[in-house]
Structure 1
Amino acid sequence: MIYRFRVILDNDTEDDIFRDLEIRETDSLEDLHNIITQSFGFDGTEMASFYISNDQWDQGEEISLFDLSEESPARLMNATSINNVVHEMQTKLIYVYDFLSMWTFYVELAEIADESEGSDYPNLMFVQGQVPDTAPEKIFEADADDTYFEEFEDELDVDDYSDLDFDENWN
């Protein structure tokens, strides 16, 4: 079977920027990563991760391009088939590319179709919008609402250690 995905760039502009892709359900998430980076014009050399998501686009389990964890091994894209994490009941993923720029994409399964004879997969079906030169800035709720941290306002000078009860030269 072929999975048809719509991959939408998370941006705050009026223009919709997305790509419609086709890929075999048995291909790996690394294959999906490759077609996403190519279709949006990235070189694919930066770190990236998929996150399993729910209908509210909450970020769940991470599936990473490389294992950088020291404690428990991370789930990896090259060892995870698409149909292992995406199916009719679980249709959404969040994809983050380049952790310094934080390019964020919403990946949604739009359709499951039969494979067309003579077609090559993965396949870029449709392109909408131009990718900006830099990743869209994220506005976090705490930044948007200046009163978020008001309850912590006090006269404490965090650079003045003289009133704190500890020995600076403890070691």
Structure 2
Amino acid sequence: MAIYRFKISFEDFDDVVREIDIKTNQTFEDLHRAIHRSTGYNADKSSSFYVSTDNWIKGDEISILPNQRKIDNGVTLMENAKLSNFIEDPHQKFYYIYNFERPFDFHVELIKIILENDPNIEYPFLVKSTGEAPKIIDQNTGGFAVTSAAAASSDFDFLNEMDFVPEDTEELEAMGGRGINAPEIDEESEEEEEKDEFADGDDFEEDFGSEKEDY
């Protein structure tokens, strides 16, 4: 049985390319799932191939997990569509949209027809992988990709609600010098010290009063 070799590239990321060998009697769903084994994306998303012109103008649609409108319009399902039934050119092209909720667009091009399959290979088979697939943006983060640091701080409470204790000893000393985290002053002790100062003044007059008179 003959083998198709497809080149799959992101429309907006030219440096990310996959080449996949697949049997002529396999389906577009087989190709769809093979693509996302190579990208790491979830294949269970509403997506479509479109028979394309050389200028990437979309024609007939072949879909997986279509919405009701497409079903009502009789869209062809990937699981029922053999690749060989849609190949009319040795360089046949397909425009491919993955995940209509947050789409990525791909160019899929037939680049080689191999007349015999290798019995030692399980098809579809990833022949070549160049570049890392772009990360999927998480809708739940308001349009920003979740990073490991952000995920780790999901219980973050803004420096423990401002009860901040610096880890650096020098920082502690500097903050103490500015009165931050300095020991509390006992007002009663201050009053006692003031009294003692006045008492010392009285003693001075008692002790040296007579000498002052001599001068």
User: Could you give the per-residue CA deviations for residues 77-108 of structure 1, whole angstroms, max 9, x where no partner exists?
Assistant: 01110011124356000111111221111000
Matches within 5 A, 1:63-74: 63-70=62-69, 71-74=72-75
Of the three residues 130, 133, 148, the one matched with 1:131 is 133
> For 1:22 and 1:78, how far apart are their aligned partners in 2?
18
- Pairwise mapping of residues 7-156 of structure 1 onto structure 2 (< 5 A)? 7-11=8-12, 16-70=15-69, 71-89=72-90, 91-113=92-114, 114-134=116-136
CA distance in structure 2 between the aligned counterparts of 1:50 and 1:77, rounded to whole angstroms: 8
Cα distance in 2 for partners of 1:67, 1:102 equals: 14
Q: Normalising by structure 1, report the TM-score.
A: 0.72
- Once residues 87 and 100 of structure 2 are traced to their aligned partners in structure 1, the CA distance between those partners, rounded to angstroms, is 23
Tell me, yes or no, if the aligned pair for 2:90 and 2:113 is still in contact at 8 Å: no
50 and 99 in structure 1: CA distance in 2 versus 1, 3 angstrom threshold: same
By how many angstroms is 1:10 displaced? 1.1
Structure having the higher Rg: 2
Identity of aligned residues (%): 32
Q: Which runs of 5+ in 1 are unaligned?
A: 136-171
TM-score by length of 2: 0.58
How many residues get paired?
A: 133
d(CA) in 2 for partners of 1:134 and 1:32? 20
The runs of 5 or more residues in structure 2 that have no matched partner are: 138-215
RMSD: 1.7
User: SS at 1:38's partner residue?
Assistant: helix
| Distance (whole Å) between structure 2 residues aligned to residue 96 and residue 25 of structure 1 | 22
| Residue 5 (structure 2) aligns with | 4
> Would the aligned equivalents of 2:91 and 2:111 in 1 still touch at CA under 8 Å?
no
Range moving further from structure 2, 102-111 or 89-98: 89-98
1:133 counterpart letter in structure 2: K
Task: Determine the C-alpha separation between the residues in 2 that align with 1:131 and 1:67.
Answer: 24
Higher helix share goes to which structure?
Answer: 2
C-alpha separation between the residues in 2 aligned to 1:89 and 1:60? 18
